[in-house]
Amino acid sequence: MRKILIPLSLVAGIAAGVIRAYEWRWAWEDGAQGLMKPDYWLSLLLLGFSLVFFILVMVIARGVPRKHDPDWNASGLRPLAPWTAWTGAAAVLAMLAGAGLDVREFINAQTPGEPLSSVSLPIFALLSVLAGVCILIVIWAAARGALSRNYGIYMLAPVFWACFWLVRNIGKYAVDPEPLRFFYDMMGTIFVLLTLYAAAGFFYGQARRRRTLVYCSMGIFFTMITLLGLGLYALLWGGLPADDLFSAADLCRYGFALLYLPVIQMTVVRGQKTEKDSH
């Protein structure tokens, strides 16, 4: 049953993303600046759908052993399938594209003779490059079947990157009076952080497979809502529904999550060479 989590997350995310696009169009007085219509049925439907999906993922994940496997050994991990490795590499390219866009925004925002503004942008770009390089190192080792606990240090850089991403989003959305405007992309960011943290835990005696699969599934789901909701809105009605909140760099980061989280989930599902398939 756990093998169905990735396609289930994608299908549920597509359905929820369609609802989100129409919510952006009809549930707001003004998609970019106005307030939300009280208790609009599309908003209630999307919240209910998200809750039902979360419960379903929890039920499916119960089939995974709960113990955290302190003796888990990365050297026993099955080598990554070629398509999985290439998907991970594409995810890193999306992350680096976001870093490049951050640097360009930082350069364009500077005014001669004025103090530096948006200093977080180059810092975030630097963290993105560091995290991307570390992910490539881990993917290359996993593809060759040469992964070991010594690679745990490389798993930490993406965790710090995701922490910085979450803090930046908290600051960006703190003044927004409508929580549902940013709820789904914030939940996506949170579950990306939790997934990366759980994945790093496998290298430090904290291999919690059930929890990791739940985090991955919810991260994929909320990322699909964000990307597909914005994409369909732009396709059907033109522009973005909240131009002051989203940027191309943000979309690249969610693209990274949509590509990389299934790689982590597939790795956990495949398990170790010594595990029985029945597990």
Residue with tokens 């003044």: 175
Cα separations in angstroms, 18 against 165, 224, 230, 267: 26, 10, 9, 29
CA distance 169 to 182: 9
Would you state the torsion angle of the CA atoms of residues 129, 134, 137, 138, taken in this order, to the nearest 10 degrees?
-140
Q: Which of 24-28, 107-111, 171-175, 183-187 comes out lowest in average pLDDT?
A: 107-111
A 10 A CB-CB count for 83 gives 10
Evaluate whether 21 touches 228 at the Cβ level (below 8 Å).
yes
Cα dihedral across residues 165, 147, 133, 86: positive or negative: negative
Closest residue by Cα to residue 7 from 221, 272, 225, 268? 221
Write down how long the chain is: 279
Shortest CA distance to 188 belongs to which of 169, 213, 202? 169
From 269, 138, 141, 256, select the one nearest 200 (Cα to Cα).
Answer: 138
Q: What is the pLDDT of residues 133-187, one digit of tens each?
A: 999 999 998 888 788 888 899 999 999 999 999 999 998 888 888 888 899 999 9
Q: What is the DSSP letter of 202?
A: G
Quick one: which H or E segment has residue 140? helix 120-143
Q: What is the pLDDT of residue 227?
A: 94
Q: Give the model's pLDDT for residue 274.
A: 43
* C-alpha 18 chain-centroid distance: 19
Give 35-52 pLDDT, tens digit per residue. Answer: 788 889 999 999 999 999
- CB count within 10 Å of CB 143 equals 18
Ranges 67-71, 94-98, 202-206, 255-259: which has the least confidence: 67-71
Over residues 70-95, the mean pLDDT reads 79
